Amino acid sequence: MINNPYKIVKMFEEEISVYTGSPYVVTVDSCTNALFLICKYLNVKEVTIPSQTYLSVPQSIIHSGGEVIFDKRSKTNHWKGVYQLKPYPIYDAAKRFTSNMYIPGSFMALSFHIKKQLPIWKGGAILCDDKKSYEWFKKARYEGRSEKYYKEDDITFLGWNMYMTPQQAAHGLAMMQNYPEHKEDLTEVNGYRDLTEFTVFKNNKVINEQEYTIQN
């Protein structure tokens, strides 16, 4: 019997670590919040992303204190599986979950949404190979708390309520037992909408398709 229900979360993280080849794994409640925590940890400034991606990506960057530059070039927008949040070693890997996928030296955000490869309904994870950041992510996702009972702990910084529940982890752990060694990247049916069309992003910088220059 597992007396601490959160041990199942650690077991799921260890399973993901072995499968992806990532030395460290921290599960969270969504890929959106995985990206937010990574951006917050790295204290990002200007971040360039494809203009055609999911809506929550620029929001995660902005909420973390960064600024978003949208790259409208077709070669950037025709991404598959993963793409980089440039110039940082951050990768949105919401549409990839396959063996040995980890890129050394990077921070990768995974999604376990119902429409993704490992559909546990909701959840995400951070892959990294840096122990210092790993320890920070573990506390940051859980209100600044360590793995101790909070009344016996010392909270040293303000965190967020972004942890994965034991129920989600148990579901994911069960699904991993029959998960294939390799799975193809997902593609977005009919593509993503160009985010620069939304009013909320009308003042963001854009890399123009023809001129390859940043314009306001």
Output the DSSP codes for 4-30. Answer: STTHHHHHHHHHHHHHHT-SEEEEES-
Q: Is residue 1 part of a domain?
A: no
Q: Is residue 70 part of a domain?
A: no
Flag whether pLDDT at 1 surpasses 50. Answer: no
Q: Give tens-digit pLDDT for 95-149.
A: 999 999 999 999 999 999 999 999 998 999 999 999 999 999 999 999 988 876 6
Q: Is residue 91 part of a domain?
A: yes
Confidence of residue 155 (pLDDT cuts 50, 70, 90): confident
Confidence of residue 23 (pLDDT cuts 50, 70, 90): very high
Residue 191: the pLDDT is: 83
Confidence of residue 190 (pLDDT cuts 50, 70, 90): confident
Q: Is residue 157 part of a domain?
A: yes
Flag whether pLDDT at 65 surpasses 60. Answer: yes
* Residue 100 burial (CB count, 10 A): 10
Q: d(Cα 206, Cα 174) in Å, to the nearest integer? A: 43
- Pick left, alpha or beta for residue 41 (phi over 0 → left; psi -120 to 50 → alpha; otherwise beta): alpha
Instruction: Find, among 176, 92, 77, 79, the residue nearest to 127 by Cα.
Output: 92
Q: Is residue 150 part of a domain?
A: yes
Which CATH number characterizes residue 97's domain?
A: 3.40.640.10
Domain extent, residue 158, equals: 7-44+79-190
Flag whether pLDDT at 8 surpasses 50. Answer: yes
Residue 12: both structure tokens together: 């799921």
